[in-house]
Structure 1
Amino acid sequence: MIEVQLLAAQVIGEVLAGANLTEILRSLWQAHPRLSPQQRGAIQDISYGVLRHYGQLEAILRKLLNKPVQNKPLYYLLVAGLYQLCYSQAPAHAIVDHAVSSSREITRNPAISGMVNAVLRNFMRQRVQLLDQIKTDDDVARYSYPQWWIDKLRQQYPQNYEAILLAGNEHPAMILRINPRLASISQYQAMLAAHNIESAWLWGNALRLAKPVAVEKLPGFSEGWVTVQDAGAQLAAPLLDAGSGMRVLDACAAPGGKSTHLIELAEDIDLTVLDKHEDRLNRLKENFSRLRITGYHLACGDATQPAQWWDGQLYDRILADVPCSASGVVRRHPDIKWLRRSGDIHHFAQTQIAILNALWPLLQRGGKFLYVTCSIFKEENDTVVDRFLTMHNDASRLPCFHEAMHNGQLLPKINHDGFFYALFQKN
């Protein structure tokens, strides 16, 4: 347990210094191969949980400390301990004892261990009072997002910005996509029930599990019967409406969730999958292999530079799931809240319009182009779409009909993340 808290504090510190959470955890598993599944799970829970609630935890710690803690590893150890006391089911006395022991690994100063003990036990005594106090402190303490992020959502979504912020701090649901070529929704639900796994149908081929399970416990997972994919992301393939024999491009395709869905809905399309990162393409190939998908064309290249990879033949359908702030998927990637800066949004928008402009000439007349982001910021969505339409008089925007959308925007809720969809047709 001591090692778990220390390693979690290390992860938190590296992320808040600018590192990607997923990459840090991957490196940690490689550096500590003897960690048990339980230890890995605990480290991951603490790391994700602290980043979800970091604004709140920092505000609590400010009230508990007589003076700032300059030792960063020690500071993040205290934050980790507070998270466990607030949100975990572990016995409070065990959390405090382990934090005190862990502090001795950071410094041998007995006074420091005493301070850790005093701070965490003081929180235990004042928990209710402290949690009530920070609700009135400031927006960052209340919502656990940077102030610029809160201000932007308050301005863009004055009626429901608070619901959006709170949804982003929830644990994400585990959503499955059933392969319709191998099983119906009812058939697969029966298979899940036989394994004592509860599920509920959402829409299309999407099922929501009552409780997350390891993928190896999903019946037929290794045989390609099912894929783990957010319900919001599952709207892309149906909206693109790719039919038999069509030439289809999935730009920025890795890790391949939307590509594989396209094939499941129309198996005999002529599909090209493109991504600029070789390592991400390797992951895509693994997903295609598990689903027994062959016959696609793989291209490594920049979507803004078609001359590097395009064969000169026009496409009937293009899907561009473009790089973005990922502000709609922060419950799955809570480090994004603290890694993004307000100026990043402008740079993403510039990249997005560059991709649209570069790929548009590759589309056949009468063809359809689906623009996708996992962002909820309008600068990356409606603003980019409006700018694109003013630049291309041969483009018209088609409606994206779905009960959960409003003008193409899907806001994060319990059953899905936040996405934006805009469907264009070349006149």
Structure 2
Amino acid sequence: MNSILIVEDNDGLREIVAEAISDRGNEIIAAASAEEAFSIIKEKSFDLVITDLKLPEADGMAVLEAVKNTSPDTEVIIMTAYGTVDTAVKAMKKGASDFITKPFSIEQMRVLTAKIMSQRALKEENRNFKKITSRVIVGNSAKIKEAVDLAAKVADKEVIILLTGESGTGKELIAEEIHKRSRRGTEGALVKVNCAALAPGVLESELFGHEKGAFTDAMYMKKGRFELADKGTIFLDEIAELAPEMQVKLLRVLQNMEFERVGSEKTIRSDARVIAATNRDLKQAVADGVFREDLYYRLNVMEIHVPALRDRKEDIPELVSYFIKKYAEFGGYRVKAISKAALDILMKYDFPGNVRELENLIQRILVTCNNEVIAPEDLPYEIRSNTAKEIRAGLENEVEAFERQKINGALTKSGGNKAKAAEILGMNRTTLLAKIKKLGIE
């Protein structure tokens, strides 16, 4: 149901407008003057205000201004006589949604109102979509702050950056943050390429572009990602997966930022800042002979390591709260929080998929949980059972440590005589020998 304010000094016209929109289940409030409307607007916000342009005392422009000052997202329709259309157009420049000229029929007002409210619903949906798709770096642990602070320091420095870390840690988010904070964030685009997703031949065309007729399916000229990233940033994700022949071509581009489109001899220059990312150990890849050493050193001007979630577990409570708020509001889910017991289980889990795994987990729980607070039983079995295994392993370690201490003490007292040590411990020699071997006691 929409809340609508009608501001019209003419009783008959006010009733016509109310009749036009009353059958849509709307909450309708009427005001006979701008002054009355001002008082109402102070107390209540509206989805839509329909106001006459000419009113006693203050006019419809003043109503528009008052509405936009208190509730910028409220839609406003201006009713105007034919001779004041120019003024109505000025009102639209100041934030009015549309205007309608008098005289008008009930159907005309009904159609216009429906159109405006449909547009409003679409804008609201877009706002919610932006909320759900927006991504921020969450966490206050020393390790993530170190990565974020270093990213902020190098954002405006024209150096190649290599982001390292496991899959799902947020390397792409760091790349987005660097681009946003740099001058390139306002001058050019952040162009992303997943080097592992495309075959070498396709990747060459994707990175450098191609001319029409360069190969069978080249029906038109296409600019490559380096060209599109001119004045901006190109993000090369999973750089370790580049085929040897592509490594050679990329090295040349990084050296002088020059390249040719596939099927062309014309050299193109690009002023693109390069950020690369990998979840593999590039030094080891160089040692194994699968990654060029010269390309490695060209890329590794400034390395930023993004920590695994298991290395910053103190951020899990904040991440969980953030994901619950982000997805519950948009999806209309009941969940508002997580219980301490459930959170304790998550804190003991190592999250091999890192933040991405935690995010997907929360989305899954929101769908299946029937209560406002997430309880341990709402967590997937594999996470609950993993925690139970960890507890058992912890107890076993404590028992082994205790046994090691007692056996070492007995061996010391007996001067290394295992028979006497077994007697001190109250066990037979065979059992003691088996425990010494199991615990690795020398």
Query: TM bucket by the smaller chain?
Result: under 0.3
**Which of these two proteins has the greater Rg computed from alpha carbons?**
2
Q: Normalized per residue, which structure has more helix?
A: 2
The higher relative CO (CA closer than 8 Å, separation ≥ 6) is in: 1
TM norm structure 2? 0.21
TM-score, normalised to structure 1's length?
A: 0.21
